Amino acid sequence: MNKPCDIHNEQSFSSESNQWKDPNKVMRLYCLKLKEKQLKARINCSKNNALCPCSENILSINVSTKKSEKRKNPFVCSTSNKREKTETYLTDIEASADQTLFTLFNFTSERTANIHSATSFANVLNGIDDNVHIERSKVIKGESWIPVDWSLKSKMRFISDRPFPWNQKLKISEEASGITSFVRCLGSTSEITLDTSSNAKFHQCCLYWQQPVFPWLKLFPRTSTKISTSGTSMPISTTIKHSLQTAWSDSIRSLFQLIRTRQCPYFYVCANNYTILFRAAGICGHSELHVMVTPTTRGFRQLLRQEEIEFKMPLKKKPNCDQGYETTTQDTVVDSELNDEEDEGDDEEDWLLSLGMNADEIKQINYKQQKMKFKGECEVDNSEQSLIVIEGAEVNSFFNFLLNCKSAVSTTGPLAGIPPTLLAPVAFNGATLNSIKVRESKVHFDNVDYYSLELNGPILPHAIHNLCEIYPREQSFTATFANIKSTVPLCHVKISNFSNSSAEKGKVDSGSAVFGQVNLSDCGLNSKILKQFCSADSKRVESIDCLKYTAETKTYTWS
C-alpha cells in the first residue's frame, strides 16, 4: 500500500515528460529495501520510527553523488583514502535510522581530516622548507668567544626574558668602586677590598676617556648628518682656537707615547670627515705599530704623498679583476709610476711631433689622459676601498702630519675650530672621564615580558667584551648594535693585508700572539680579553650587528 507521500509524489510528477523515469518507482523500491533492513535491525524494539524524509534525501544525495563522482585528483587524495570513503558509504546504507545521523557526523569528520591531511605541492614545499629550517637550526653552532669588532658604535641594546642583574640606579659605594676600578685598571680577579657587586662592575664597563669635552656640544659621532642637527654654531675667538689646539696636541701626544710603549692598546681620532685608528704592536698579531684611516679622499692621499708618507690601500680592488682586493700593492708605487710617466712625457711629445701632430693636438691628448687618471683615483673616494694603512716608521711621520693637518679641524658649522675627538680605554693627559648613558625599560610582546637595557654613547671594542664577561652565564640574551658605517671597513683589514712576502706571512703564528700578549700586559685590558685582541686569526675580527648568547650551550652566535 502506498503512503500518502507516495501518492503526492505521483500527482506532482504526472506532468513530467515521458523521457524521464518515474522517480516514484525509484524511491518506492529504495524505501522498501530500507524498511526491510530497518525491521531486521530493530526487531526487538517496540517503537517503529520511520526515516525522516530529509535524512532520506541527504543519504540519497550522498549515494547519487558518490556514483556520479569523477575520479579524484591524485595529488589531492591518495588511493587509500578512496577505499576508506567507499567503505564509509556502504556502512551508511546498511546502518539503521538512529545511527544514520551519527554516521553522517563521523563521515564528515573523517572527510575533513582527510582533506586536511591531503598532500599537495604547496604542502610538500612547506614541509620541505620546515625540515630544512629545522636542519639548519641544528647545524648552526656557536662559539665560546666573541669576535673583535673595530667599528665604532653609537648605541647598544641588551634584551632578555629575565631581569638584568644591573640597573641604572647606583649606590654611592657602587659608583665609587666602579670608577676606582676603571681608573686603576683593576680586573675582577684582582684582590681588592672595593665593592665587587654587579652594579659596580657594570658601571666600570660603561666608562671611557675622551678629549675634548663640552657639555653643550655632542662630539660623538661626528658625522655630517649628526653635526647638522647638533645645534647652532658658537663663534670662537682665535685665542680660544689656539688654546684648544694646544691642549689637543698635548693629549694626542700623550696617547701616542702610551701606545708606543704598549701601555695603551688602541685609541681613536674622530674627525668630521674621517676616523683614525691607532693600534699598538701586538694587536691582531701585528708586530709593528700601525694606523688605519677611513674614509679618505684623493686630496688627502695627495697630501700624504707630498709629505712622502708611504701607505697602502688593502681594500682597493685590482683594476684588472672584478673581485678581490689588492693586498700587496702600495699606493706609493703607483705614485712613482705616475712620476716615471711624467718623465717620459717629453719623449712621447717629441715622438708625436715627429709624426706630424701639432702642439694643440698633443696638449689635448695629455689633458684627456690626466682626466682619466684623475677620475680613476676619485672613484674610490669616501668608500670602503679608500681605507689606507700606515705601519712601521711611517707612523711617526703621519703623527707629525696629523698635528699640523688643517683639514682635521672644521672651519665652518657647529664644530668650527674644535679639534677631533679622542677616545681611549686608558687615561691620558687632558682626558675627561665620561660614562655611557644607560636606560632601562620593559617590553611586552606576544604576552611575554622582555627586559631591555639601552646604552648610548661611544661603544669601544673592549666594552662589548667586558659587558659580556660580567653577564650571568645562566641567562640568555640578545645584543644589537648601531654601527657607524664609515668605521665598518676597519673590520675588513686582516693580518695578511700588512705583509708583502710569504716569509713574513709565515711568521704570523700563535707564538707571536703570545709575545704580543705578554708585551701588552700593562695596557689596561683584562688578560682573557687581551688574548682575543692579540689573536692573529682572521676569523676573530668581524663586524657585528647582532650578538646572541645561549645559556643552554654557553655559546655566542652573531651576524
**Residue 224, CA atoms < 13 Å, CB-side half-sphere:** 4
Which residue, among 49, 54, 66, has the nearest Cα to 107 in the 3D structure? 66
CA torsion sign, 465 to 471 to 477 to 483? negative
From the number of C-beta atoms within 10 Å of its C-beta (0-12, 13-18, 19+), residue 458 rates as: buried
Rounded Cα distance between 163 and 174, Å, is 19
Assess contact for 259 and 266: CB atoms under 8 A.
yes
Q: Is residue 110 part of a domain?
A: yes
Q: Is residue 88 part of a domain?
A: yes
My answer on whether 217 and 102 are in the same domain is no
The total number of structural domains that make up the chain:
3
Q: Is residue 188 part of a domain?
A: no
Rounded Cα distance between 368 and 304, Å, is 25
My answer on whether 229 and 284 are in the same domain is yes
My answer on whether 94 and 236 are in the same domain is no
Q: Is residue 201 part of a domain?
A: no
- Residue with C-alpha cell 695629455? 366
Asked if the bond preceding 295 is cis, omega within 30° of 0, the reply is yes
Q: Is residue 397 part of a domain?
A: yes
Q: Which of 116, 138, 154 delimits the end of a domain?
A: 116
Q: Is residue 514 part of a domain?
A: yes
My answer on whether 423 and 501 are in the same domain is yes
pLDDT along the chain (559 residues), means of 10: 46 48 78 82 58 43 45 57 45 44 41 42 45 46 91 96 87 93 82 83 96 92 61 75 95 97 97 95 92 94 94 82 42 45 60 73 75 75 93 95 91 89 97 95 88 95 95 93 95 74 47 80 92 91 95 93
Q: Is residue 380 part of a domain?
A: no
- pLDDT for position 354: 72
My answer on whether 99 and 55 are in the same domain is yes
Q: Which of 59, 94, 116 delimits the end of a domain?
A: 116
Q: Which of 100, 116, 132 delimits the end of a domain?
A: 116
- pLDDT for position 41: 79
| φ, ψ for residue 542, nearest 5 deg | -165, 145
My answer on whether 213 and 278 are in the same domain is yes
Rounded Cα distance between 382 and 486, Å, is 8
My answer on whether 109 and 244 are in the same domain is no
* Cell numbers for 134: 629545522
My answer on whether 220 and 108 are in the same domain is no
> What's the pTM value of the predicted model, to 2 decimals?
0.69
My answer on whether 31 and 62 are in the same domain is no
Q: Phi-psi bin for 183: left (phi > 0), alpha (psi -120 to 50), beta? A: alpha
Rounded Cα distance between 262 and 252, Å, is 15
Q: Is residue 268 part of a domain?
A: yes
What is the layout of strands, in order, in the sheet containing 477-483? 437-445, 448-459, 153-160, 477-483, 546-550, 555-558
My answer on whether 80 and 220 are in the same domain is no
* Cell numbers for 192: 681588592
Question: Which residues span the domain enclosing 272?
Answer: 208-289+392-435+495-533
My answer on whether 406 and 502 are in the same domain is yes
- pLDDT for position 35: 82
My answer on whether 220 and 80 are in the same domain is no
* Cell numbers for 118: 591531503
175-179 long-range Cβ contacts below 8 angstroms, 24+ apart: 175/200, 175/203, 177/204, 178/202, 178/203, 178/204, 178/207, 179/203, 179/204, 179/207, 179/433
* Cell numbers for 181: 676600578
- pLDDT for position 366: 75
